[in-house]
Amino acid sequence: MFANKKHFITAIIGALVTLSIIALVLSLVKIEDVTLPPMVKYGMVFDAGSSHTSLFVYEWDSDKENDTGVVSQTLSCNVQGQGISSYANDPPKAGDSLRKCLDKALKVVPAAKQRDVPAYLGATAGMRLLRQQNSSAADQVLAEVAKTMQEYPMAFKGARILTGEEEGAYGWITINYLLDSFTKYSPRAHTWVHPEAASIFGALDLGGASTQISFMPEGSVINWNEASKFMLYGYNYSIYTHSYLCYGQNEMLKRLAKQLIVESSSSTRVDHPCYPKDYSENISLSSFRTSACTNQSDPRLTLDDRNVTLEGRGNATACLAAIKKLFNFSACGQSQDCTFDGIYQPPVSGKFMAFSAFYYNFKFLNLTEGQSLATVRETIEHFCTRGWEDLSSSYPEENPDRLPKYCANANYILTLLLDAYKFSETSWNNIFFQMKAGSSDVGWTLGYMLNLTNMIPAEVPARVKGHVPSLWAVAVTFIILTLTLGLAALLLLLWL
């Protein structure tokens, strides 16, 4: 009997001690939510321009800053060949041209995330012109690129033609995002903050078929029909933006050639003041029919299959005068709030970044280091006087199709910025010719992605059950354990 009593009390003591130890272990931790790092999300955008197509892949953390992703560029890939509008007569080739860049994109996006990656294709002025001229061909080209993109493991969101104003506004967003004008990381606060005195830049974009100007005007704005409004990082922005179709540099060169031919007294050989001396180029009059910018009928010129030879004269003054004829400045009268063709524009204000063809032409001429307007003019005038043999030997690496056109392009840029947009000798110093900011390309695609992230829901950061020590629980359990051991000792004494 004493043995049974002994075993019984021993069992009770053992049970109490065991339960106390279990309680102690469990109370050493308190179950709490632990936030995991945010997931990285990806997006990709094709920039289907008039002369070429590029693919950009972006990434951002899923917990967004004030509903807008903090986006960085992960990949850029240039599609081989011309712009997708050049495949109007063979639309399937437009889709096939994208494959190499799509394959590269899938190598930088983790396989587990690929099917969730939103993918877009935005076509610009080349496709806007094709739609004007042959809407069914434009639809077929877009259908083929969409068909190709849908074959890849990603969330295809559409292929569409952007308006000129969208293109300009998204370029403006890109520039100011890269310059930290919208949001900036504060090491002291360990968070993203809105700059109190951010310098908002304007955007000047020159493509092959169109050109865009976008900026935030000062003071009151009248007749503001070109406004674009955005909500970015919790703040509202309203900007003036306008796009000029047929005023991209490639279309400008076609229009200039047609104008010179129309004005010439010769039907076969035409002086071209912007081309270098001793350079000549043969052009078929029927080629003017391929663009909506030059296919308008003119009683002085029949667009047949005849060939005309354009002969370079290297005359900077005559070149500039010929280019100015491409603009209808008289439609503005004496108004200072007007560019040309009667288009309203408030006075330019603030700093501007000029990119795309603005940058490439001036970079070739070594004019991207903030040179004065007088130096720019002098450099362009001197370049225009150089003969073809001199240029060919001086720039053996330059594309021979592009080299004879720099004189015309540079004079066109001067006319556009000074006579049309009305930059002055003083405000010229506020134009910065750049193509990159940090490691990212300047263009409309990043702004497009940033704006679209407002429509991609921010994810709640993932939370898991974790274990964190609780001092209060440890103290309570220690008391319980002490009392339990004390009770066990008392029972042991009574037994003895």
* Catalytic residue set: 167
DSSP tally for the chain: helices H, then strands E: 14, 20
Estimate to the nearest angstrom the gap between the alpha carbon of 189 and the chain centroid: 29
Residue 96's alpha-carbon distances to 10, 77, 80, in angstroms, are 83, 15, 10
Distance CA 41, CA 450 (A): 13
Angle ∠(160,253,135) on CA atoms, nearest 5: 30
Distance CA 207, CA 230 (A): 24
The two tokens of residue 325 are 């004829």
Name the residue among 425, 132, 152 with its Cα closest to residue 251. Answer: 132
Amino acid at residue number 158: G
Give 188: exposed, middle or buried? Use CB within 10 Å, 0-12, 13-18, 19+: exposed
Name the residue among 163, 155, 176 with its Cα closest to residue 230. Answer: 176
Distance CA 257, CA 244 (A): 19
Estimate to the nearest angstrom the gap between the alpha carbon of 362 and the chain centroid: 21
Distance CA 467, CA 206 (A): 58
The two tokens of residue 194 are 């809105």
Name the residue among 76, 84, 95 with its Cα closest to residue 53. Answer: 84
Checking DSSP bridges between strand 269-272 and strand 235-245, what pairing results, if any?
A: unpaired
The two tokens of residue 231 are 């909500």
Q: Cβ contacts of residue 454 below 8 Å, gap of 6+?
A: 67, 68, 231, 232
Name the residue among 120, 111, 87 with its Cα closest to residue 448. Answer: 120
Which residues partner with 77 through β-bridges? 55
Q: Are 460 and 39 contacting, i.e. CB atoms less than 8 angstroms apart?
A: no
Distance CA 447, CA 165 (A): 13
Alpha-carbon torsion angle 342, 343, 348, 351, nearest 10: -140
Residue by residue, DSSP assigns 49-92 as: -SS-EEEEEEEEESS-BTTB---EEEEEEEPSSS-GGGGTT-HH
The two tokens of residue 207 are 């493509």
